[in-house]
Chain A
Amino acid sequence: MSDTLFELREVEKTYQIRRRRQRVGLKALDGVRLTIRQGASLALVGESGSGKSTLLRVLLGLEPPTEGRALYRGRPIAEVRAEGPEFARRVAMVYQDARGSLDPRMTVEALIGEALLHFGICARSEVPARVRALLARVGLPAEVAARYPSEMSGGQVRRVAIARALASEPQVLVADEAVSGLDVSSQAQLLNLLRRLRAEMGLTLVFITHDLGVASYLCDEIAIMYLGRVVETGPTRAVLDTPAHPYARALRGAAPAFFAPLSDPLPGEIPSPIDLPPGCRFAGRCPVARPDCRDTDPALLRLDDSRAAACLHPLTKEPAHV
């Protein structure tokens, strides 16, 4: 496909850690396959320890994969990043800790202006006007430009971080839990803002979240991760309506919903990625695990044109083997 922006092929990322004086490989990512097309909006969903953050670092070219290939427009991401600021300009990032990602000794104008000047978006004399336009775009008044991040509320700081990310006129916006930890009304304001920006600017959106409601509101596609692996992908609506992977179903059941009776929670916790069980890594917590799940490791297989799941016995139907 020509409009493929990112392509991850069997990406593995292993960190060497010391445990009891031995060097042990910690597989943060294990055979991740993912394609992000131009204009798509993808939600990466998973609990802590699922490898979301590592996947993000690989996607941004901050870390090369240990195995497999991570490509941006058909070329290795690390190579494209090393060539100059063009990749950084096209792929912008909004951090979860927006306050920490902004230099506390710079005003909002200086922060956004830095990005404008660095990427050569406009001349120095035009910076104040540009900054005000960007602030207006994220729904902040012009007087915010003279403030420091510490003088603003959590919701405002997130908006500044988004405005700064948009300064380079990116094609891709990568957001790591950009709306979590906020009050519901600020969160709803930000979600509407991100939706509007996506429509107005034709952004490709990669949104990391643990909240399925947020994922379904913002993103057309979803990839659910568990222990360094993508266990199910597909159109958000379809995946959440009829999850094929038992973990996807459990996540969906655990998400709060008005007046729905509390579902039976998934037992246990995510195991350590250092000593993984053989077979399916979800088998230990899976309510419908069968004997073969404990010794056969399922691959991510196609269910239909748009969906795929890594499960030997998917809840929808048997996978068509490709």
Chain B
Amino acid sequence: MTATDTAPTAPRRAGMMRRRPFFTLASLVALGFVACAIFAPQIAPYPPTLQSIDAMMQPPSAAHPMGTDSYGMDILSRVIHGARYALLIGLSSVLIGAAGGLVLGLVAGLSAGWVEWVMLRLIDSILALPSLILAVAFIAILGQGVDKVILAVGLSLIGPFARTVRADVLQVKVQLFVEAAGLMAIPRLAVIRRHILPNVIFPLCVQITIRISEAILVSSSLSFLGIGVTPPTPDWGLMISEGRGFVSFAAWMSGMPGIALATLLIALAIVGDGIREEFDPKLRTGR
């Protein structure tokens, strides 16, 4: 009847795990990877870079459940340690991208006139190239190494983040509560900090969970191309690349890290989607 008179909404968090079995499964998988990353030295049966001439290119066995590579390094240990690099690179670069995107997006959304024009062109130019190409370009400038990969992938993600932040700012700044704050003569900067920022940060956090998988994929691609992290770092992309030449008779060398990468990406995508659907008011089915 009256649209304004909605009854208080019942708490909806409690049943989330039960209502979304795939989400629960995916979060368990993702948590498993996180655990591997944190406790890698304790879990892994061998040090990740321990070479052994006696055990080169062995198929999966009791001693080496995922087999060994051409240097005799245990693939299981390398995959476990690889989770460290994947998550470290993924998280850090997304945080860099989100921070940069927040600043650019806020300025673009709140400014007017030529500042807005310049900001929009800047965001457009970042968005014009796919993040992988952009990351390759940054690596070409910065050089190789884990820290360089984080920076390159982070910079390449600023564009997409800035675009979503700007869209949110445009939507929030015309809300009535922003006008009401202006009417109370609250200074513009305080309105931005107190009312606009919190309403933009939240959707940004949801974006972060979704984009971690993109960052991991881009960083692995860089390693696969041989321009990311340097050997013998146990990075999945690098491992897939190293196993490429032996695929016909030692498929496990590329296959095992490939499966690990695919599993993590799928799990993260499901978790991100679940969080977005659960908390994004725009996707909620209202009355």
A residues within 8 Å of B by Cβ?
A: 60, 62, 81, 84-85, 87-89, 93, 95, 97-105, 114-115, 118-119, 150-155, 157, 168, 181-183, 186
- Among the listed stretches B67-75, B139-147, B175-183, which one makes contact with chain A, having 4 or more residues with CB under 8 Å of it? B175-183
Closest 10 CB pairs between A and B?
A: A154-B5, A88-B185, A154-B4, A100-B176, A85-B185, A101-B180, A101-B176, A103-B177, A151-B8, A105-B198
9 A/B residue pairs, CB under 8 Å, sorted by A: A89-B185, A101-B179, A102-B180, A150-B9, A151-B9, A155-B5, A181-B2, A182-B4, A183-B5
Is B4 a contact of A84 with CB atoms below 8 Å? no
By a CB distance below 8 angstroms, the chain A residues around B202 are 105
Task: Give the residue of B6, B184, B199 whose beta carbon is less than 8 angstroms from that of A85.
Answer: B184
Closest Cβ–Cβ distance, residue B219 to chain A (whole Å):
33
In the complex, how many angstroms separate the beta carbon of A53 from the nearest chain B beta carbon? Answer: 12
Taking CB atoms, residues of chain A closer than 8 Å to B194 are 103, 114
Of all chain B residues, which has the CB nearest A161? Answer: B180
Other A-B pairs beyond A95-B176, A154-B4, 16, CB < 8 Å? A88-B185, A99-B4, A100-B175, A102-B177, A102-B180, A103-B177, A103-B181, A103-B198, A114-B194, A119-B184, A150-B9, A151-B8, A181-B2, A181-B4, A182-B4, A186-B5
Q: Confirm or deny: B148 has a beta carbon within 8 angstroms of a beta carbon on chain A.
A: no
Chain A residues lying within 8 Å of B186, measured Cβ to Cβ, are 114, 118
Given contacts A87-B185, A88-B185, A95-B176, contact A103 B2 (CB under 8 A): no
Question: For the complex, what is the distance from the CA of A157 to the CA of B199, rounded to whole Å?
Answer: 20
Min Cβ gap B193→A in Å is 12
B5: chain A residues at CB < 8 Å are 153-155, 181-183, 186
How distant is B187 from chain A, measured CB to nearest CB, in Å? 9
B2, A81: Cβ atoms closer than 8 Å: no
State whether A154 touches B2 (Cβ < 8 A). yes
- A154–B6 contact, CB under 8 A? yes
Report if B112 contacts A (CB, 8 A): no
Are the CB atoms of B184 and A95 closer together than 8 Å? Answer: no
Q: Which of A115, A155, A182 contacts B184 (CB 8 A)?
A: A115
Given contacts A100-B175, A150-B9, A154-B2, contact A93 B180 (CB under 8 A): yes
Q: Is the CB of A84 within 8 A of B177?
A: no
Q: Which residues of B contact A102 (CB under 8 A)?
A: 177, 180
Cross-chain contact A118 with B184 (CB below 8 angstroms): yes
B156-182 Cβ-contact flags toward A at 8 Å (1 or 0): 000000000000000000011101110
A98 to B186, CA, bound (A): 19
Q: B6 contacts which of A87, A104, A115, A153 (Cβ < 8 Å)?
A: A153
CB-CB under 8 A from B2, the residues of chain A are 154, 181-183
Q: Find chain A residues with CB under 8 A from B128 CB.
A: none
> In residues 32-88 of chain B, which contact A (Cβ within 8 Å)?
none
Q: CA A62 – CA B7 in complex, angstroms?
A: 34
How far is B179's CA from A62's CA once the two chains are assembled, in angstroms? Answer: 10
Which residues in A have their C-beta under 8 angstroms from that of B14? none
Residues in B with CB closer than 8 Å to A183 are: 2, 5
Q: How far is the CB of A141 from chain B (nearest CB, A)?
A: 14
Report A-chain residues with C-beta under 8 Å of the C-beta of B4.
97-99, 154, 157, 181-182
CA distance A319 to B268 in the complex (A): 77
The answer to whether A88 and B183 touch across the interface, beta carbons within 8 angstroms, is yes
Q: How far is the CA of A101 from the CA of B4 in the complex (A)?
A: 13
Contact flag A84-B185 (CB < 8 Å), given A103-B177, A105-B199, A182-B4:
yes
Residues of B close to A182: CB separation below 8 A: 2, 4-5
- Nearest A residue to B172 by beta-carbon distance? A103
Chain B residues with CB under 8 Å of A101's CB are 176-177, 179-180
- How far does the Cβ of B129 sit from chain A's closest Cβ, in whole Å? 35
**Docked pose: A3 CA to B198 CA in angstroms:** 43
A105 to B276 CA separation, bound complex (whole angstroms): 17
- Contact between chains at B7 and A153 (CB < 8 Å): yes
Set of chain B residues within 8 Å of A115, measured between Cβ atoms: 184
Residues on B with C-beta less than 8 A from A98 are 4
Shortest B93–chain A CB gap in Å is 28
What residue in chain B is nearest A83 (Cβ atoms)?
B185
Which residue of B3, B7, B183, B199 is within 8 Å of A103 (Cβ)? B199
Closest to A119 in B: B184
B244 CB within 8 Å of chain A: no
Nearest A residue to B177 via CB reads A103
Kindly supply a per-residue 1/0 record for chain B positions 181-225, scoring 1 wherever the CB is within 8 Å of any chain A CB and 0 otherwise: 101111000000011001100100000000000000000000000
Min Cβ gap A183→B in Å is 7
A62 contact set on B, CB distance < 8 A: 183
> What is the bound-complex CA distance between A81 and B186, given in angstroms?
12
Determine whether the beta carbon of A181 is less than 8 Å from that of B3. Answer: yes
Contacts of A97 in B (CB 8 A): 4, 176
The docked-state distance in angstroms from the alpha carbon of A131 to that of B5 is 24
- Measured CB to CB, the closest approach of chain A to B217, in angstroms, equals 32
Return A100 CB to nearest CB of chain B, in Å: 4
CA A181 to CA B5, docked complex, whole Å: 8
